[in-house]
Amino acid sequence: MVKDRYPDIIRIMLTGHAGLDTTMKAVNRGEIYRFFTKPWNDYEIKLAIRSALEKYDLEQENRRLLSTVRRQAVELSLLARQYPGITQLDRDENGLIIVPDIPDEDYSEIVAKCEQEWNGRKEV
């Protein structure tokens, strides 16, 4: 089945046989995005393809972002082990995060390290 071999592909079904029971099974089992019977409207198929491509792009971006969030969660966990308390946030009475004063030299050092890390990742 196409869904099993290519799970990320958006599937559109075109058929000349519109038996409702068989069609519904195919749509449900194959997780069909759109379904058309003969004769079809070319304009509607073009719109469906454009919409399917947008859906595919959004799903790819979602997978990329999820991967980034998972990687960042691991990095944050490692930082928390290396520097206990680093992830602790203090809040005021309104729930806003209180940022402690950081001396300029410490701030500059932190920014420099972040830029080094960022530039190192961009080169990879």
Highest mean pLDDT among 26-30, 51-55, 72-76, 92-96: 51-55
pLDDT (mean) for 114-118: 82
Beta-strand (E) ranges in 39-118? 90-91, 97-98
Residue 110: pLDDT over 80: yes
pLDDT (mean) for 51-80: 94
- Which of 113, 92, 11 has its CA nearest to residue 59? 11
Q: Which amino acid is at 20?
A: L
Per-residue confidence band for 19, with pLDDT thresholds at 50, 70 and 90 = confident
What is the per-residue pLDDT across 29-63, written as a single tens digit (0 to 9) for each? Answer: 888 889 888 888 999 999 999 999 999 999 999 99
pLDDT of residue 18: 65
The domains located in the chain, with CATH, are 2-123 (3.40.50)
Q: Which comes out higher in pLDDT, residue 95 or 26?
A: 95
Contact 52, 10 (CB under 8 A): yes
What is the average pLDDT score of the chain? Answer: 86
The predicted model scores a pTM of 0.61
